Structure 1
């Protein structure tokens, strides 16, 4: 923080002392920084749009999954580029409610998708349940994938 303050103070002194030389350099740096910021915002919005095209369905299916992993997840990549990484959190809701009944703590399982999911393809697996609040049974809840974070290959 101190180094940043010193750099800004030095830049202001140079700008006031030598405006003819410092102003063009400052404008070029500002344009460069603006271009980098625009590129980062564009990349982020592109990944957000691609994540919105992913279909993630979660079903409590102990009859289809092994013991200890009763949550069936199906991911459909509706994009035209491969998905390279995907992470999410699972939320559990009672039907018609909007209170998340899944507890978030350090021992909660971390959910990750396939290493690479090709364009227009599906992946399914069985996952462990997140810890639920006391008194709720998983067969009576709706599970949703939230806070999706991922990346796609270009």
Structure 2
């Protein structure tokens, strides 16, 4: 924060002392900053469009999965780009309710997808349950992915 204040103070001094030079350099820096900002916004929009094409389904299935990982996951990459990394958090809801019954603690499991998933491919796995609030059973809840973050290489 101190460095930012010093930069602004230096820029004001240069603008007062050498207005023509400082203004032309400032316009060049502002143009460069605008180009970087527009590129970042374009990249975020591109990733959001690709993430919208992912189909991520979860269901409590202790008969198909091991006891310590009873949550069955199916992920289909419906986007035109290969998925290289995927992270998310799991929310647990009663059917028809919007209250998240999963507690996100420091020791809660971290959920990650496959290292690479080509367009049109499907990935299935069994996951551990998130920590649920006391008094709720996993068999009576619906599970959804929240805060999905992923990356798609060029």
TM-score category by the smaller chain? over 0.9
Structure 1, unpaired ranges of 5+: none
Residue in 2 aligned with 1:41? 41
RMSD of the alignment, in Å? 0.8
Mapped to 1, the partners of 2:34 and 2:153 lie a distance apart of 25
Residue in 2 aligned with 1:114? 114
Residue in 2 aligned with 1:52? 52
1:85 to 2:117 alignment: no
Mapped to 2, the partners of 1:132 and 1:2 lie a distance apart of 44
Mapped to 2, the partners of 1:129 and 1:7 lie a distance apart of 50
Residue in 2 aligned with 1:69? 69
1:66 offset after TM fit, Å?
1.2
SS of 1:88's equivalent in the other structure is strand
**In the TM superposition, what whole-angstrom CA distance separates every residue of 1:101-128 from its partner, at most 9, and x where no partner exists?**
1111011110000011111111000001
Mapped to 2, the partners of 1:153 and 1:3 lie a distance apart of 35
What TM-score do the two structures reach when normalised by structure 1?
Answer: 0.97
Mapped to 1, the partners of 2:3 and 2:63 lie a distance apart of 60
Number of residue pairs the alignment of both structures matches: 154
1:36 offset after TM fit, Å?
0.3
Structure 2, unpaired ranges of 5+: none
Mapped to 1, the partners of 2:126 and 2:104 lie a distance apart of 20
